[in-house]
Every structure is written in C-alpha cells, then in structure tokens.
Structure 1
Amino acid sequence: MNQKYFYTDNINPIILHLGPIKMYWYGLMYYISFLFIYHIIINKNNKILFYHKINKKNLENLLYYGFINTIIGGRLGYEFIYNAKIFFKNPLILFEIWRGGMSFHGGMIGAIIYILYFSKKNNYNFFSITNLIVPLIPIGLGAGRIGNFINGELWGRVTYNIPWAVIFPNSYDEDKLFIKTYPKWKTIFNTYGALPRHPSQIYEFILEGIILFIILNSIKKKNNNNISAIFLINYSLIRIIVEIFRQPDIQIGFFYNTFTLGQILSIPMLLSGIIILYKYNK
C-alpha cells in the first residue's frame, strides 16, 4: 500500500495556551454552534416570537439553560453509559469536556428534561418548543463531529479499500489488539504506526449536520408541526446506518458480534418518532 492514499489525522486539539488555560477546538466547536443557533433564533427570525407566543427573555433562557443541560446530559450520558468504570474511579473526569466524550442520547435527555420544566413553568406547549429548536440541532451535531475529528477520537472501522482512509495516531493501542485477531494487518500497522480507518466523524458531519439540517429546514418552511417526530426518525436512521462504519468504544464492543450501543440506543428514538407522528396524524 502506498502511503499517499492515507491522510494522517494528527491535528493539535489545542488551539492556544493562555498561561495555565488551554483553549481546545472541541469546546470551541460547541461554543460556535451555540452562538450560531442563538443568532438565527434571536436575530434572524423574529417571527417565531409571535408564532410561538414566547417573549425574548424566555427564549434566551431556553437557549442558555437548554444548552447547559444538553452539555451536562451529554457528559453524564457518556460517562454512565460508555465509560462507567473509569468514571466511578475518577468522577472529576466528568468536567474534562475538552477530551471529548459526549453522548448524544444523554444530551437529548438533558435537553428534554429542561424543556419539560420550561414548558410547564411558562405554560407553553412542549412540542411547540421542540418544533422551534430541532431544525437547528444539526448545527450542534455537525460542529461536535468536526471536534471529534480534530481530537482524533470516535474513529471508524479499519479499512484499506477507500482512498480517503485516515490514520488516527490515537488508535495505536486499539490497533495493537486488532492485529492480534487479524495478523494480516501487522505489516500495515508497522508501516504507518496505526491502521487506516473510515473517517466516520466526517460521515456523521455530512449526514447528521448537513443533510439532516437540509431535511428539517425544508420541512420547516411548510410549517410542518411534525418536525420533532421527523427529527427523531431521521436522526435514528442516520445513526443506525453510520454506526456500520464507526468503531464501537473499545470498552463496550459489539452486542451479539453485530450491533453497536449507538444503534441500540437509536431504536427507542426511532419508535418514539413513529409513535408521535402517528398520534398527531390520526
């Protein structure tokens, strides 16, 4: 194999140092996505204040605290679901968000809990609020996947038959275990220091970020009240498909040698979307 076919992802995850403070690309991606979403909702589409009968102050609170609860839920979800053994040994790892480790499903639960509280407190319809927010969720999803790629984490499965395969130096330890089972890869491993893999973060950026954004906002133009259900259905299907190319977390592995935890967690989302869509179209 010729090395020119492989891109090596060795981007420095740290943007700059300010004394003891380090600024990470991963955190910056989420911050930029929040500012972008805030700008669109607050400054670019004032009609929603009238349409959803929500004042600007309440809308700002929804965005700020909804974002915070999403981050908290995402971190808790990742540590409890994917990384429980390490988390209980070192609970402070929960605050190390620059290292990555965000569970979308955990983040969604955190956001839902806050929206339920917000809706009840201010006497808003729950789905009126979710229909307002979900068309912009792909912005955060896409930004997060770019952060994952820069961090060199959540890489895809081993491959050599695609010209855009990527060498992730951080996969070194996992690759050593891989070649014990598949020794034919040893030469490639010794040549590149790691194995070529699918850049599944970029696949997710395209599908969860760009494609899902286009789908949801095309529907939004038609004032479709089913947009929350359509988000659940489409995200779940995209996640189930993209997990085919994504390497499951080493501490979790496959279920029944076939399914990943991400696929399993997406099934309740898919069913929920179908039920909501059916209920509101009876």
Structure 2
Amino acid sequence: MWVHPMPDPVALSIGPLHIRWYGLMYLAAFIQFVALARVRIKQPQIARCGWTKEDIDDMLFYGVLGVVLGGRLGEVLFYHPEFYFANPLEIVKVWNGGMSFHGGFLGVLLAMSIWAYKRRRNAWDVLDFIAPMVPLGYAFGRLGNFINAELPGRIADATLPWAMIWPNVDNLPRHPSPLYQTLEGVVEFALLWYFARKERPRMAVGGMFCLLSGMGRFITEYFRVPDYEVHFAGITISAGQMLSLPLIALGIVMLIVAYRRGAHAPDRVPSQEAQTRAG
C-alpha cells in the first residue's frame, strides 16, 4: 500500500524567507504559459492576427492577478465562506493552499476582458488564444495540492494498485485524487493543443476548453472527497460538479454558435504605429 510522503511544504528557506512548493508550482504554471504562448504565436493562424511577445508579457500580468484573486475569492465564496468570514486573516494566506479552479477561471475571464478592451482586441479572440496554455497550469496547481496533502480522495478498494493512505486523514486506502486531476490537466492540454493547431471559428477553441475542463472536473470529482454535496431530485452531486455544469453548458453553447456562424477569422489588430496615428 502506498503512503502519501507528506513532504515538507517549504521547499527552501533563506533566513526568514520560506519558499513553498505550492508557490513554486504556480511559478511553474506561469512560466509554461509564457513558453507555450511564444510557440503559439508562431502558428500561422495566430501569427496572421498580429500577436507579439509583448502581448504575452502584458497578458501574464493580468492573468496572474485573475488567477490569484479569482481563485482565492472562489475558494472563500464557493467552498468555505463560514470559515473565512470567521477568520478573515486566513483569506490572504494563499501560500497555505486553497484556490478554486472555477473562481480562477472567472477571474481570468474578467482580467482578459479588461486587457482586451484596453488593447482593442476581441475578448473571444483572447480566450481562444490563451485557452491551450491553461490546462497545464491547472495540472501544476493540482500537483501543488498533492504536495500539500490537500484534497484527499474518496476511500478506495485496498486492491487498487495505486491506492494511497493519507496519514493526515486516516489509515484507509484512498484515491490520490490530486494526481488524477494533474493527469486530467495534461490530457486536456494535449487534446486542446491539437485542436487549436488549425484555424477554427471564433469561440471554438475557448468553447472546447470550457467543455473539456468542465467534463474533466466533473469526472474526477467522483474520486475526491467533496467539499460539500448538493441533493436535488434524488441526485447527489458534489460542489465541484455543480460548478462544472455551467462550464460544460457554456462550452457547448460556444461551440454551437462558433460553427453555426462558420469560419470567422479573428480580427487582425492594427500595428502599434497605426494605433498611434489613429489616436
């Protein structure tokens, strides 16, 4: 039987400065975003739209704010409002873990919409551009959850070869659900990157991201101890599944709209010089 290694959440200490594994996973997520985005802007259908390295660096700043603020507020409001409202100082302690994927998604949507408005980009084009880089970032975040021994899995059959005991929970065999969700992010990245390699109608890549992410999270929730469950019409679903249903619906609607409109190339943004002259 595997036993969770329960590693020290602090990866490195330099005097009073403590660098945590959870923070390093988020740093890795942002680095991979930049690296993949620089590959993506070289794809013919993307290069024709005038994306630049400066756009990537600028979007990263907005994206970090969206992920951190949205993810934390989502954790506070969607999952544990009673605890955080009773202990408001805990809200800022993001290094201890506790980030909501759905909150981060909404935060990034808002941040990218603001960036698109400022840069005169179509917001759907921005979503289509960044979507393939998001799943690997999600995977790194879930790996950070595993290192922190967070999000334990449901009790598993002891004969399951990869069942794992979480000493901070109990001595029962459990599914290593954060690792399942790490794998989920890797698979979604592979599918979405392949899908986005060809020119697609506006909203199609973003819609596929919403659909894959919602479905992936809905499935992996069956193996994770739920934060809480919702009972409706004789059906029981977890909080994560309930929040994933709108994401699945949004993805389906976006794909239908995208392909009903037919091929619609993203807007080509005027050069910086042209924007300056126009101003």
Say yes or no: TM over 0.5: yes
Is residue 233 from structure 1 mapped to residue 211 from structure 2 by the alignment? yes
1:170-209 matched pairs, under 5 angstroms: 170-172=168-170, 194-207=171-184, 209=185
Q: Is the 8 Å Cα contact of residues 3 and 167 (structure 2) preserved in structure 1?
A: no
Shift in Å, 1:118: 1.2
Q: Is the 8 Å Cα contact of residues 152 and 169 (structure 1) preserved in structure 2?
A: no
Residue 175 of structure 1 is matched in structure 2 by none
1:255 is aligned, of 215, 221, 230, to 230
Whole-angstrom distance in 1 between the partners of 2:253 and 2:65:
28
Percent identity among equivalent residues? 35
Segments of 5+ residues of structure 1 without an aligned counterpart are 173-193
Equivalent position SS for 1:16: strand
Whole-angstrom distance in 1 between the partners of 2:255 and 2:183:
25
Residue 164 of structure 1 is matched in structure 2 by 162
Residue 178 of structure 1 is matched in structure 2 by none
Whole-angstrom distance in 2 between the partners of 1:228 and 1:46:
16
* Greater CA drift, 263-272 or 48-57: 48-57
Is residue 38 from structure 1 mapped to residue 34 from structure 2 by the alignment? yes
Whole-angstrom distance in 2 between the partners of 1:29 and 1:79:
21
1:81-230 matched pairs, under 5 angstroms: 81-159=78-156, 160-172=158-170, 194-207=171-184, 209-225=185-201, 226-230=204-208
Summarize the Cα distance change of 1:137–1:32 in structure 2 as closer, same or farther, 3 Å threshold: same
CA deviations 1:85-127 (Å, max 9, x no partner) are 1211222212212211010000011001111111122111111
Equivalent position SS for 1:153: coil
Residue 272 of structure 1 is matched in structure 2 by 250
CA deviations 1:68-98 (Å, max 9, x no partner) are 2111100010011111112112222122122
Residue 12 of structure 1 is matched in structure 2 by 8
Shift in Å, 1:232: 0.7
Equivalent position SS for 2:18: strand
Letter in 2 for 1:158: I
Segments of 5+ residues of structure 2 without an aligned counterpart are 261-279
Shift in Å, 1:55: 4.0
Letter in 2 for 1:224: R
Shift in Å, 1:156: 0.6
Shift in Å, 1:39: 2.2
Summarize the Cα distance change of 1:133–1:46 in structure 2 as closer, same or farther, 3 Å threshold: closer
Shift in Å, 1:246: 0.6
Residue 72 of structure 2 is matched in structure 1 by 75
Q: Is the 8 Å Cα contact of residues 33 and 133 (structure 2) preserved in structure 1?
A: yes
Q: Is the 8 Å Cα contact of residues 119 and 129 (structure 1) preserved in structure 2?
A: yes
Whole-angstrom distance in 1 between the partners of 2:187 and 2:114:
31
Shift in Å, 1:46: 4.2
Letter in 1 for 2:56: L
CA deviations 1:40-62 (Å, max 9, x no partner) are 223x3443674332443333111
Q: How many residues align?
A: 252
1:22 is aligned, of 12, 18, 22, to 18
Whole-angstrom distance in 2 between the partners of 1:114 and 1:52:
21
CA deviations 1:187-230 (Å, max 9, x no partner) are xxxxxxx32210011111111x2110110011111222311101
CA deviations 1:16-68 (Å, max 9, x no partner) are 222222111111001011112112223x3443674332443333111122122
1:53 is aligned, of 50, 55, 61, to 50
Structural RMSD (CA): 1.6
Whole-angstrom distance in 2 between the partners of 1:144 and 1:156:
16
Whole-angstrom distance in 2 between the partners of 1:232 and 1:102:
18
Letter in 1 for 2:36: I
Whole-angstrom distance in 2 between the partners of 1:86 and 1:21:
27
Whole-angstrom distance in 2 between the partners of 1:33 and 1:245:
24
